[in-house]
Each structure stands twice: as C-alpha cells, then as structure tokens.
Structure 1
Amino acid sequence: MSEKALTGGGKTVRFAGFRTLLRQPMLVVSILVVFILLVTFVLYPMLKIMQLAFTDETHKATFSNLTTIFKSRSYRTTFINSIKLAVVVSVLATIIGYIFAFAVNRTEVPCRRFFNTIIQLPIISPPFILALSIIFLFGRQGIITNGLFGIKNSNVYGFGSLVFIQVISFFPVAYLTLTGILASIDSSVEDAAMNIGASRWHTFWTVTFPLSLPGVISAALLTFVQSLEDFSNPAVIGGDYSTLSTEAYRTITGMYDFHAGTALALALLAPTVIAFLLQRYWLQKKVFVTITGKSVSQTRKIHGKSPVPFFIFCICVSAVFLLLYGTVFVGAFTKTWGIDYTFCFSHFKYAWTYAKEALGKSMQLSLIAAPLTGMLGIYIAYLTTRKRFPGRKIMQISSLLTFAIPGTVLGIGYISAFNTGLIILTGTPYILLAAFIFRNISVSIESGASTLLQIDKSIDEASSILGAGNGMTFRRITLPLLKSPFFTGIVFSFVRSMTAVSTVIFLTSPKWPLATSKVYGLFDISKYSDAAALVVYMIIIILVAIGIINALVKWILKPRVHKF
C-alpha cells in the first residue's frame, strides 16, 4: 500500500474519531469545562506572574525586575541560599528515605508496621510543629540547651536547624515514593546475580539500586521542590538565612512591590521546573522493567543478623520522631516552658478563643475542597487515559503543572490574577478553594492514571455495548474500581489544605482566616506554648477527619445488590 493511502487512512481514522466525539455532547461539554478550569486557575495565574515580572509600574515591558535580582548581592545570596538548602535537604532526605524504605520492605526487621506508621506523622501534621520542637529543645529556654547543659544564649536559628527540620519533614515523602519501587522489584533478578557468584552487597549496587533509580530520582525531585517552596520553616527558624519564598513574601507584603515579588517568584519557579523536566526526560530515556507478564517470586527479604543495623537505624529515627512530637504535646500542657513546667490547660483555652473561627474556616474549606479535588483529579485522569480528543496532551501537562510549581509561586500567581480584572476573588473563600483544589490535584491525577492503565479497557467497552453512556460508565463501572486513588486524593487534599502555608499566605483575609496563619501569628509574638496547643487542635481535627472521610468513602463506593 502506498504512503499516500496510509496517510489518507490515518486522516480517515482521525476524522472518524472526531465524529465519534461529537456524537457524545456531554463528553465534549465536560472536556471544555476541564479546559476552562485549567486555563483559569493554572495557566492564567502563571502568565500573570510573567506579565508582572517583565513590566514596570507604568505597564511598560522591562527586564529590570529580573536584572535587579541578579545584580543585587542580597538577592543573589538569597537565590544561592535556596538552591544550597534544597540540594542538601534533597540528598539527605533521599538517602535516609531509601535506607528506611529498604529496611521496611527488603529486610525482616521487627515492628515494620510501627515504623511505617510513625514515619508518616510529618505528612499529616502542620509544618510548624518541628520548628516548635527545636525551639522547645534547643532554644534559649530549651530543655536540653538550658535545662541540661546550662547554655543561656543558645542560637537555634539558621542553616543547620533548617536542614535538620526540612530533612525530618520531607524524608517521609521520599520513603513513600521509594516504598512502592523497592517492593515491586522482582527477586528473581537478584537471585540470578547471586547464583553466578555476586555478593549481596555487589547485587545491591549492580541490580537492586539501578532498578530503584526511578524512585530515587522522583524522591530527590519531590524533596528538592518541597524544600524550595517551604515558607513556614525558613520564616520561623531561618533567622538571617533568607530564602526565595520568604524574600518574595517580604517584598510583596512589606515593600508592596508586586513586580519585584513576581520576579522573585520566577526565580523560585525556574529551578523547580528545570528539575521536573530533567527528571521526566531522564526517565523517558531509560528503561526500567521490574514487572513482566511472567509470574514472579515473593520479594526476597534479608533475615538473620543482617537486618540488625537497619533495625537500629529505624529505632533511632523513630526515637527522634517521638522526641520531637512528644515535646510539642508536652509544651502545649506546660504553664511556662523553661521556667514553670506545671501541668495546665490555659494554652488550649487561649488557642481556642484566639483561633476557633480560623479552625472552623480551615476545616470547612478543606472538607469542601477534598472531594472536589478527588473527583476532578480522577475525572481528568479518566479523560487523559481513556479518551482521545484534540488537546489531550495539553490537558495532561497543564493539569500536572502545579506539581512543579512551588506553593509560594502559585499563591503569588493567584493574588496577581484575581485581584483585579474580570474575575475578582481576593478576600473570598473561592480563591482559597481554587488554590487548595489545583495545588493538590496532581496526586489524584497521577494515582488515578496509574490505576486506570492497569484496568482493561474492555470493561468500559462492555458497558457501552450494553447501552450505558459515558457518565453512567464512569460512575457505575470506572469510579468503583478507583477507590484507592480516589480516597488517596481526598485524604491528601484535606491534609494539605488544612496544613497549607506557602500557597495561602498571600490569600488569607480577615473574613477568611486560616488556622496555619494563626499559628504563624503566634510565632510572630513568641507565644510558643499557645502555638503548640493550636497545632495539637489541628492534628486532632485532621486525624478525626481522615477517619470520617475513610468511612464515608467506603460507604459511598460500597457495592450494592440491586433487586429486580
């Protein structure tokens, strides 16, 4: 057959697909709605940042905002500080996360369930909690520095404390990323290497580690981005060590210079996007096959005396977690930390009076945003993996763009885009809802897409043959099969919304205060025990809500028997 005929056949297939799409008006409408949402709440804010960064107060095009940043010694130092901190944290967090994940998944260490649970505490807790612990333990009135060693003028602020706090905060993300990779590696590959005489150590470096590289790269990227975008820890305990996120906040809120602030946002955005693109490019060039069509043996685990060092490592890490979190809980019940350790409830009373409205608003917005994020994320995953339509790749890329955008940048983009113009959302709950949804949607999309790729398309086709439309097929067939990613998206969105700082620090208003902004306010006036009490309130709310959401989602998606 000639090339022309083949080309013509391809066009015929594309036109046939387009005609099929037009025969499904509800599908077309839903695709258009998703595109409108992505353009409005993802692409437009980013374009607004670029517009402000490359214009001056008279709206004339200029590069002066960016050149000022790189000409100014203080701004250059801030940029270097951010990159240095992110690189150090990324390396350390990935190494610790890898060792912990290897210990839990590839060795017979005892208490694996306990280790797996305790390691996830930073993921469900407010970001200020570890900074509080460091102040309680090593500050001027610290129980270790002042109480045990009598050091009166301990300076806990700076680079060292930031590295420690961020590594402890973010290495659980690396652990979760690496857990799935290490658990899925086929043991027969390692057995083959050991059968030809390779030692366990040599097998690890030549087989296990190379096969786990996708997880290592992903974990390093995630922790790098999280360190770069972190606002709460540098703001609270960074001291004189300035970072791009805190500098952008001071420039916009303190100097009221939106143009310089957006230029700083671009400087913050550039390394994260570059890292994201390099990771995607590198992984696409490599082939990592760990799951084949052949039956595989159970994951081989190290046993005997070999896991003892791993067990000691996990015990030490867990002890640090218990010390840090236990200190905050004790501090919340202590009358005056460092002076009077009398047990009391006064801080809880003050925190409730001070922040009960903010707690209610945070919970209300998070409960609304969580199911919307889960549903929209799952539906976008469904569209991009199950349907063929013009612009599908654009939808996929733009929906995942917020994964590579630091929260501070997204917050600046929203305050720039929705403060004036046709859509004015500043000061309303809608800007917070939009920030929560589109900041956290990438997890629902990625987990939903991964699950959908494992579900045979013939299931959807059978539903269509029986006369079900796209809506019914998605609701009655596809969605029940996506219970795990749906629940994951809802819980992740709720927790991230309740504990969000960098994204919403620019978006809160007197009418719509958030709990995290209230915690930051207590830090500002050095009311650390009151802040600890408020953090405890937030943790209790998050844990109760996770339990309720879990039960509710299971009830909604529970298969029901229909009687005829």
Structure 2
Amino acid sequence: MSKPQRFSNFRMLLNQPMLLLTILFIFAILIIFIILPLINVFRLGFTGPDGSFSAETFVRMASNPGYQKTFFNTMKLGGLVACISTFVGYIFAFAITRTEMPGKRFFRGIATLPIISPPFVLSLSLIFLFGRLGLVTNKLLNIDSFDVYGLGSLVVVQSVSFFPVAFLTLTGILESIDDSVEDAAYNMGASRWHIFRTVTLPLSLPGIGSALLLVFIQSLEDFSNPAVLAGDYSTLAVEAYRVITGLYDMQGGTILAIILLLPTLTAFAVQRYWISRKSFVTVTGKPTQKRRKLHEPHIVWPLFGACTLVSAVVILLYGTVLAGAFVKTWGVNNTFTLEHFKYVFSMGWDPVKNSMILAAVSAPVSGILGMAIAYLIVRQKFFGKKFMEFSSILTFAIPGTVLGIGYIFTFNQEPLLLTGTAVILVAAFTFRNMPVGIEAGTTTLLQIDRSIEEASTISGAGAGTTFRRITLPLLRQAFFSGLVYSFVRAMTAVSSVIFLISPKWNLSTARIFALFESSQYSGAAAYIVIMIVIILAAISLINLMVNLLFKPKYLKRTIS
C-alpha cells in the first residue's frame, strides 16, 4: 500500500471515530491475550538462571533421548491419524456429496457427532470394551493379557475423533466441483474410476492437503486422549503437563510446550500457504443444469457399506459410554443404578454449572468478536490489517497446553492479575475458539455483494450501524457456527484450562479427568452423558436465539 493510500485510509478512519476505536480496541486485546502470552512462553523457555537469554536448557532438553523419543512419538501419532482420518473423511464426503447413497442425513449426523461430544468419551469407551474388565476382552473373549493402552488405541480414538474435521473440509471442496467437468469426461467414454482418478481426485487435492494438515495439528494438540490411553507411549502435550505438575519444573514443561508449538505452527503455515496458492475452481458462475449424481450400484453400495461400518463403530463407542453411566461398577457389578447421576446433581454439580456459565459468557463474546474481526479484514482498509488477520487466527495453531502456560505467566501479577478468576478462563475460551468464527465470517462476507452495505452508507449510516443492521443479519449462519463451536469447545476444553482452574472455578472436564485418574469410570460416564445433553440443548437454544435476534429485517428497507 502506497503512502498516499495509507494517508487516505487514515483520514477516513478519523472521520469514523467509533470504527477507529474498535480497531484500536481489537489490536489491544489481541496483543494482550494472544501475542503477549506467546512471547512470555518463549521468554521463560529461553531464560537462564541469571535471568538473561540462554538456550542452554532448551538445547539440553531437545537433545535428551527420552524427549526426542516423545517428539517422534507425537509426530508418528499425528501422521497416522492424519492419513486415516482424511481417508475416512474423504469416503464420507464423497459418498454424501457425489452419489445418490441413501441415508445421507443420518451419515452426516454421525460424522459431526464427535465434534460436539465431550473429551474422554472414546477413550472411556475403549476402556469399557477392551480394558482389564472390558466387555469384549473379559466377558466375550476372556482375555487377561490384552493391553488397551498405547499407540494402537490412540490411533483409533483420535481417528474417530478427528475424521469429522477432514469430512467438513472435504465436503466444501467436493461440493464446489462442477458436475459438468466430470460429465464431459463421462460422455467421452471414460469410466467412472478413470474420471475419479484423473478429474475428481486432482480437483480435490487442495481439500485433501488442508484436511491432512488440520487433522495433524489436532492430533498434536490433543491432551485428553493421550492422558488417558497413552500408557507408556508418551506425547508432548501430556509430558509437558506431567513435567510441570509432577516434577514442578515450569521451565522444562514450557520448553516441551515450545517443542510442540514448532510443528503445529509449521503445519498451520503450510496449510494457509497451500490454500492461498492452490486454486482448482471449476464453478464459472453461469447457470448449469442440475445433473444426476453417481447412482451405479457397484459404486453406491460399497460406499454405503463403508459409511455404515464407520457409523456402527461410532454408535458402539458412544452407546457403551451411555450404558456405563447406568451401572454400579463396570465389569464388576453391572446392576442398573442412577447413583452416579444423583451424585453429579447433588455433590458434583458445581463443575458442570461453572462450565455452563463460562461457556455461556465466552460464546457470544467470541462470536461477536469473530464477526467484527472478519468484517474489518474483508471490508475495511487500515494499517496493520495483515497483523490483525494473522494474530486473530493464530490460536488455532497454538496447542492448548502452550496457551495455558502463557496465560499463567502473563496474568499472574499486576497490573494483569487474573489467575484464579473467571475472567482468565473466559479469555482463554474466547481467544482459543475465535478463529473458527473468523473463518466462517470471512468466507461469508466474500460472497456478499458490497453494494448492499454501500446502499446503507450512501443513506447516511455509519460503519457501526451498517454492520449492526445490515452485515450482521447476513452473517447469521456464520455467527451461529461461531457461537456453537465456541460454546461446545468451552464446555469440552481440557488442555487450555488444565493450568488455569481454581478451587472456586473448577470445570466439568477437570472433574472427569480426576475421575479417570482414580479409575471411577462409571462416574465419569455420567458426567459425559450429562454434558452431551447440555450441549445438544444449548445448540438448539442458540439456533433459536440467532434466528430471533438477527433477522435481516433491515435489508429490504435499505435496498429500497
């Protein structure tokens, strides 16, 4: 941007003081709650005994054979899960978007279930099924030597947990491919397999690459599943937690968190570069005749069978947790009981209530902030816009463990003393979950004609009024997505808050983790079932509120 353009944009902002204040406010909170904690993480990791800069401890830990093994364990797990999840996600996405397979709504629901469920669900299911007192190993096969802990179980639970991420990414790519491209090849005599191999698959490569990287990041960041199922298979996220809480070595844990941060940031940067550089768009904008999707039985029914098999696994795992919540002691005394639910609602309700309160507060803050940042990035011109865009979505690539450590050091002293309060938890939820809302808002805004907002501006409305009355109603679906994601992730967060909870503000996920550590699995199952019910009810309520609050009632008036 040239100097005259920057000066012109600055003068325009001076004429809109509310817009200028909003930009400055967002810059301030991004620096305080994202950039500063990240700087403090690196500062602690590279500080010597005398307080000066030193890489000695980092080099010593990075060269430690045990921690090197942990690093490669984490990379190996992430690579395996990324490949398997992307493969399964592609099958689901292709079957739902490109074929006339029956039961699409059911399979789509199955593919999104792991996204809205609390952590530990699938890990608990595997323990119930294949643990020492498991239904399969102990009751059906009578095997005493089977070890449910380790890499194999982690690959299973993470693949089931994260294939929805690949599914959602690949669905958008496959839906954007114009049917006429494939029809042209089919009319020329090409087989369906040849068309898929030479047309469909190459055109969906951007989505495959993006899905691989996104799932890889999710696997590296995962704390809850390795904390329960890893056994002797160490991972960086869990090891950093154990070094801090078990060895009381804050700098050592921070260094492990930095080592974890480096590959996640690298994968995130590659993913963003990949998406920005690769363009396989085939939609021309011209009206096209709606064509029949793939209907050949030898294509549809194998895909139907594959989706059914995966769905059966998901239903089995979730059904096992549901059953485990209603027995006295799984594998020992399977008598039906409601004792675990009575305990949650009487003695153990405070953590659930705290999670609901903090999620209810952080979700709208995260949603509105996400829409505001998306609007500024897409619709406004100002100095530092690239910095705002980068820093606001940076937390997607920052592991929760790293964010939690950064918050401990940033907000543990005046003038930013927030440790032990609800504010620090709300801030962690807000800035951790905001990137999804920003991405959804940015994508939607790029599809909205600027003339709609320009009509409001010509009529004399300021930027704030236009955003509130015109843009925000048009962003209703993106806003809903941001709210739901923020609420669900706040209810189910573990790694980002494991260091931030306090006796006054204990959370349901921390309580579940404590029950796991004491092997009270049925009690943990009761908490999980209650959380799933709360999350589903909250999603319905959020949908109702968004529809009532953000109707585009001003749109026709402005256009006319």
Please give the TM-score of this superposition, normalised by the length of structure 2.
0.97
Asked if residue 187 in structure 1 is aligned to residue 179 in structure 2, the reply is yes
Distance 1:281 1:438 in 2: 23
Q: CA deviation at 1:316?
A: 0.6
The residue matched to 1:119 in structure 2 has which SS?
helix
The residue matched to 1:502 in structure 2 has which SS?
coil
Q: CA deviation at 1:299?
A: 5.7
Distance 1:353 1:228 in 2: 37
Q: Which residue of 1 aligns with 2:425?
A: 432
Equivalent residue in structure 1 for 2:109, among 105, 108, 117: 117
AA aligned opposite 1:258: M
Per the alignment, do residues 300 and 65 of structure 1 end up closer, same or farther by CA in structure 2, a change over 3 Å counting?
farther
Equivalent residue in structure 1 for 2:482, among 482, 485, 489: 489
Q: CA deviation at 1:294?
A: 1.8
Comparing 200-209 and 76-85, the one that deviates more: 200-209
Q: Which residue of 2 aligns with 1:527?
A: 520
Contact 2:162-2:215 within 8 A present in 1 as well: yes
Q: CA deviation at 1:275?
A: 1.1
Per the alignment, do residues 105 and 479 of structure 1 end up closer, same or farther by CA in structure 2, a change over 3 Å counting?
same
Equivalent residue in structure 2 for 1:86, among 72, 78, 86: 78
Distance 1:435 1:292 in 2: 42
Distance 1:87 1:416 in 2: 32
AA aligned opposite 1:400: I
- Structure 2: segments with no counterpart, 5+ residues: none
Contact 2:118-2:532 within 8 A present in 1 as well: yes
Per the alignment, do residues 354 and 531 of structure 1 end up closer, same or farther by CA in structure 2, a change over 3 Å counting?
farther
Distance 2:44 2:186 in 1: 59
Identity %: 57
Q: Which residue of 2 aligns with 1:4?
A: none
- Structure 1: segments with no counterpart, 5+ residues: 1-6
Asked if residue 70 in structure 1 is aligned to residue 62 in structure 2, the reply is yes
Distance 1:442 1:300 in 2: 36
Equivalent residue in structure 1 for 2:305, among 293, 299, 312: 312
The residue matched to 1:341 in structure 2 has which SS?
strand
Map 1:158-307 → 2, pairs under 5 A: 158-298=150-290, 300-305=292-297, 306-307=299-300
AA aligned opposite 2:124: L
Q: Which residue of 1 aligns with 2:93?
A: 101
Distance 2:144 2:339 in 1: 27
Contact 2:78-2:217 within 8 A present in 1 as well: yes
Asked if residue 398 in structure 1 is aligned to residue 381 in structure 2, the reply is no
Contact 2:13-2:19 within 8 A present in 1 as well: yes
Q: CA deviation at 1:88?
A: 0.5
Per the alignment, do residues 57 and 515 of structure 1 end up closer, same or farther by CA in structure 2, a change over 3 Å counting?
farther
Per the alignment, do residues 58 and 14 of structure 1 end up closer, same or farther by CA in structure 2, a change over 3 Å counting?
closer
Please give the TM-score of this superposition, normalised by the length of structure 1.
0.96
Q: Which residue of 1 aligns with 2:125?
A: 133
Equivalent residue in structure 1 for 2:534, among 535, 541, 544: 541
The residue matched to 2:272 in structure 1 has which SS?
helix
AA aligned opposite 2:342: K
Distance 2:537 2:335 in 1: 29
The residue matched to 1:335 in structure 2 has which SS?
strand
Contact 1:86-1:228 within 8 A present in 2 as well: yes
Distance 1:117 1:276 in 2: 27
Per the alignment, do residues 288 and 560 of structure 1 end up closer, same or farther by CA in structure 2, a change over 3 Å counting?
closer
Asked if residue 476 in structure 1 is aligned to residue 501 in structure 2, the reply is no
Q: CA deviation at 1:466?
A: 0.5
Equivalent pairs, count: 555
The residue matched to 2:48 in structure 1 has which SS?
coil
Aligned-pair Cα RMSD in Å: 1.6
Distance 2:275 2:22 in 1: 32
Distance 1:217 1:109 in 2: 26
Q: Which residue of 1 aligns with 2:401?
A: 408
AA aligned opposite 1:79: F
AA aligned opposite 2:136: I
Q: Which residue of 1 aligns with 2:330?
A: 337
Distance 1:183 1:14 in 2: 39
Contact 1:106-1:299 within 8 A present in 2 as well: no
Distance 2:187 2:314 in 1: 40
**CA deviation digits over 1:121-165, x for unaligned, max 9?**
111111101011000000011110000011124311111000000
Comparing 231-240 and 216-225, the one that deviates more: 216-225
Contact 1:183-1:299 within 8 A present in 2 as well: no
Comparing 277-286 and 133-142, the one that deviates more: 277-286
Q: Which residue of 2 aligns with 1:364?
A: 357
Q: CA deviation at 1:13?
A: 3.8
Q: Which residue of 1 aligns with 2:39?
A: 47
**CA deviation digits over 1:405-447, x for unaligned, max 9?**
1111111111121123421111011110011000000011011
Q: CA deviation at 1:553?
A: 1.2
Distance 2:520 2:8 in 1: 67
Name segments (4+ residues, structure 1) moved above 4 Å: 559-563
AA aligned opposite 1:242: S
Contact 2:214-2:271 within 8 A present in 1 as well: no
The residue matched to 2:424 in structure 1 has which SS?
helix
Q: CA deviation at 1:298?
A: 2.9
Contact 1:248-1:265 within 8 A present in 2 as well: yes
Distance 2:544 2:443 in 1: 24
AA aligned opposite 1:439: R
Q: Which residue of 2 aligns with 1:18?
A: 10
